A = this chain, B = another copy of it.
Amino acid sequence: MEFFNKVGKMAIGSRLRMLTETMTDDAAQIYKLYDIDFQPKWFPVFYVLQEGGEFTITSIAKEIGHSHPSVSKIIAEMVKNGFVTEKKDKADGRRNMVSLSAKGREAGAKIQDQYTDVTGAVEELLSQANHDLWKAIEEWEYLLEQKTLLRRVQEHQKVRESNKVSIVPYEPQYATAFKALNEEWISKYFVMEEADYKALDNADSYIIDNGGLILVALYNDEPVGVCALLKMDDPDYDYELAKMAVSPKAQGKNIGFLLGQAIIEKAKALGGHKLYLESNTILKPAISLYHKLGFTKVAGRPSPYERANIQMELAL
């Protein structure tokens, strides 16, 4: 398969599908070798029934890992071909009790030889290969059960996206972004207040000149997130984390966390001991981000903002 070498590992799904297909194509003809009128897809169901006794549709489905409609259809076909008999359970009227018929048991005896030959052929293949396909499948089943492929891809995506993000100090060129990004979420959930305009229109004089600072998150050199550290005049706290905003277009890239981490580092470097912040419980992702950064809830304090209904702090 030249194609797969070009595409690389990401096509492992397609490659598996094709290998499966070449094998199942042969399966139909293998049954013919043993002159049993038998469809390969019946095999797992048949195998379970050979254990003897009666089974319900769902118990078979669960055992072989198929959906129950699949088993239902297969049983219908096997009944039609006389391999299987079904009868309603007297104790539980929903149950369709299924078992091998005389003809089914007879076919089972015939099929034993086939089992040994196919197992022999597969084992021969396994022994001729250096890499154990059987065990490799087993491992992948386990690994994917632990963490799905989707989750794994998601994690890779996150790391890669994070690497594209850089956190830089505020510069006058980011003044409009600082205002726009904050105005975006504030006016979406609340209304812009007097204190907002003061801070957003005069970042330099109001925040930086007062001993605070602003960090900007760049993604492809575009400012997509901002966060400010305000000097507080308070016996309990040194700084306030405020004006954290991330563009909705840049969600899922971990930008909020990276900004928060960087701001905390800055606060530490400036000799701060305790951080403070205000927010609103309606902003669930923000609150959970603050939690992740280590902030804990504290009792209410007066705030210049209408919208503040929760306060948090973090000891550095």
Which residues of A line the B interface, CB within 8 A?
1-3, 7-20, 22-24, 26-27, 29-30, 33-34, 43-44, 47-48, 63-65, 113-126, 128-137, 139-141, 143-144, 148-150, 152-157, 160
Residue contact A12 to B133, C-beta cutoff 8 Å = yes
The 8 Å CB contact of A160, one of B30, B63, B116, B134, is B116
For the residues of A in contact with B, the DSSP-based class is helix
Whether B153 contacts A16 by the Cβ 8 Å rule is no
Contact, CB under 8 Å: B149 / A12: no
Are A17 and B20 in contact, with the CB atoms below 8 A? yes
Q: Which residues of B contact A120 (CB under 8 A)?
A: 153, 156, 160
Nearest chain B CB to A123 CB, angstrom units: 6
Smallest Cβ-Cβ distance to A13: which chain B residue: B23
Q: Across the interface, which residues of B come within 8 angstroms of A27, CB to CB?
A: 13, 149
Q: With the chains together, A143 CA to B127 CA distance in Å?
A: 11
Distance (whole angstroms) from the CB of A304 to the closest CB of chain B: 39
The residue on B at minimum CB distance from A22 is B144
Question: Is there an interface contact between B152 and A12, defined as CB atoms closer than 8 Å?
Answer: no
- Contact, CB under 8 Å: B123 / A131: no
What are 14 A-B interface contacts by the 8 Å CB criterion?
A: A2-B63, A3-B63, A3-B64, A9-B134, A10-B118, A12-B134, A19-B140, A26-B149, A26-B153, A121-B153, A121-B155, A125-B149, A128-B143, A133-B140
The count of identical subunits is: 2
Q: Do A122 and B10 touch across chains, with their CB atoms under 8 A apart?
A: yes
Q: How far is the CA of A126 from the CA of B9 in the complex (A)?
A: 9
Question: Apart from A16-B23, A131-B132, what are 4 other A-B pairs with CB-CB below 8 Å?
Answer: A7-B47, A12-B137, A13-B24, A133-B139
B144 touches A23 (CB 8 A): yes
A33 and B154 form a contact (CB under 8 A): yes
CB distance A153 to B33 under 8 Å? yes
CB pair B47–A12 under 8 Å, yes or no, is no
| Chain B residues near A24 (CB-CB < 8 A) | 13, 17
Q: Which residues of B contact A115 (CB under 8 A)?
A: 10
Q: Contacts A129-B139, A153-B117; is A20 near B9 (CB within 8 Å)?
A: no
- Is B121 in contact with A30, judged by CB distance below 8 angstroms? no
A160–B113 contact, CB under 8 A?
yes
Q: Is B152 in contact with A124, judged by CB distance below 8 angstroms?
A: yes
A10 touches B65 (CB 8 A): no
